[in-house]
Amino acid sequence: MTGSPSRFRALPLRSRLALLVASAVAAAVAAVAVACWFVTREQLENQLDTSLRNVSVSDDLVRSLFAACTRPDQAAPPPVKGTYTVQLVTASGSTCTSAGASPIDVTPADTAVAAGEQHDALHTATTRNGSKVRVHTYPYETRTPLPGLVTGGFAVSVARPLSEIDDPLSSLAWMLLVVSGIGVVGAGAAGLWVARTGLRPVDRLTGAVEHVARTEDLTVRIPVDGEDEIARLSRSFNSMTASLASSRDRQAQLIADAGHELRTPLTSLRTNIELLARSDDTGRAIPPDDRRALMTSVKAQMTELASLIGDLQELARPDAPAPGPLQVVALHDIADTALERARLRGPELTIRADLAPWYVRAEPAALERAVVNVLDNAVKFSPPRGTVEIALRNGELTVRDQGPGIPADELPHVFERFWRSPSARQLPGSGLGLSIVARTVQQAGGEITLRPAPDGGPGTLATIRLPGAPTPPPGL
């Protein structure tokens, strides 16, 4: 028994469905057949009991039967027409049965009726030859005393064989069994057909999944028809493969872009280091100024390479909530710290700040880096002796520079990884800063936008909106 469920689960799905359908139909047919058999038996028994109650034995028949039982020289009366058996029962339990009929066993109910203690009796009894009969016993009062009858009263039992019921019920049982068998076989065939028809979309889905697993071809799509569960599963599969294909394309693009961006500093480093190594190998010293310039270039390229690797590591984190703990931080303090760094990087610039208190829930280090990146871009693209304006009001941090601005056709791409404006490609940077900023702001529940200066002047306006409050929560 313990192995049956495992063997059942080992069957193909369509075979299991066909077996389940056949089992369900078999149970339903069996229940209907059993109910039909019992209802039919009940109806036949009721009809038999009604016919027994409606039988009326004539007084002449009773006298003739009594005379035949008490007087050996008296001929027995002819049998009652039909299948009825008539038997006289006295209070003492003696009986007298019609000619040709086997005597019926007397029960206490029959003698009670003969003694006048019970109105009538309806029960099943057995004849002396072993046949089952249905018996109705009722009292019989004579108008004139019968010779030899001391008590003056007795009972009449009218019986019919139960074979009248058992034989049709047996035939009905065999017929129901045959019909049930045909129904179960038909249900199994219908279940197999339904399983094959209903699982045809699943077969297509299985084939598509196996094809993807075998070839890694994520362009496979399954035709979707209708709104049922199979259609929903097909849509989900199509959506999944589309997402995987898009993710793989983005991964390939990230690797290609990262390789392209890494090639520039690595090439420069290799060139400068080869010059220094050749100078040492040949013994020809490089002039001090040139050597100093080479070392400065090597340090700059190493710094750019380290920054690029750090940006790649940041982007390699999953697009899920930041792994660091979220804390309530003062956005105005973070912006003020970023301002100090911006002033160091652009000492010739005029930086104006108007920061109102605002508290947000975010990862402090990531949020600080995001604000620093926005200010670094403003400093990097501002002209000499230009002005950078930063303001924080009601959770909206704005940074305005006076640089060349971003053309309208380039604005949709500014948050893409490694994307750099053609006018900014000669400047240092990896093109990852704004991608990191956008992701950090989104993880904190906010949004960032870039647009031309609203007053029509030069420059770009960067806006970061973060949910929060102007006052810290209690206990901070």
- Of 296, 316, 336, the one marking the end of a domain is 316
* Coil/strand/helix, residue 430: coil
Angle value at C-alpha 407, between 401 and 319, nearest 5 degrees: 80
* Same domain flag for 282 and 403: no
Do 92 and 233 belong to one domain?
no
Does residue 168 belong to any structural domain of this protein? yes
CA distances from 209 to 100, 203, 238, 307, 329 (A): 83, 10, 11, 41, 47
Among 50, 42, 44, 34, CA closest to 163? 44
Q: Is the dihedral of CA 23, 27, 32, 34 positive or negative?
A: positive
Residues 181 and 245 in one domain: no
Residues of the chain with pLDDT under 50: 1-3, 149-152, 320-323, 424-429
Task: Give the Å distances, CA to CA, from 356 to 330, 394, 395, 469.
Answer: 10, 8, 9, 11
Q: Are residues 388 and 292 in the same domain?
A: no
Report yes or no: 163 and 148 within 8 Å, Cβ to Cβ: no
Structural domain containing residue 464: 327-469
169 with 50, same domain: the answer is yes
Same domain for 129 and 156, yes or no, is yes
Q: Which residue from 259, 258, 330, 317 is spatially nearest to 439, judged by alpha carbons?
A: 317
pLDDT of residue 150: 43
403 & 331 share domain = yes
Q: Would residue 369 count as lying in a domain?
A: yes
Last residue of a domain, one of 289, 316, 343: 316
Last residue of a domain, one of 152, 178, 198: 198
User: β-strands 468-469, 359-362: how paired?
Assistant: antiparallel
CA–CA gap between residue 258 and residue 398 (Å, rounded): 30
DSSP 216: -
Same-domain check for residues 114 and 158 = yes
Domain count, the chain: 3
Please answer whether residues 184 and 26 qualify as being in contact, where contact means their C-beta atoms are separated by less than 8 angstroms. Answer: yes
Is residue 41 located within the same domain as residue 186? Answer: yes
Q: Are 302 and 337 in a shared domain? A: no
**238, exposed or middle or buried, with CB in 10 Å at 0-12, 13-18, 19+?**
middle
Q: Quote the pLDDT of residue 28.
A: 85
Tell me if 205 is assigned to some domain.
no
Q: Residue 78 falls within a domain, yes or no?
A: yes
Whole-number pLDDT of residue 7: 67
Report the CATH number that the domain containing residue 242 is assigned in CATH: 1.10.287.130
Per the domain annotation, does 309 fall within a domain?
yes
Tokens of 73: 């020289």
Please indicate, yes or no, if residue 241 is contained in any of the structural domains. yes
In a domain, 222, yes or no: no
Q: Are residues 309 and 347 in the same domain?
A: no
337 shares its domain with 421: yes
Both structure tokens of 234: 């097909």
pLDDT of residue 71: 60
- What CATH number is associated with residue 374? 3.30.565.10
Helices 364-381 & 331-345 angle (0-180, nearest 10): 40
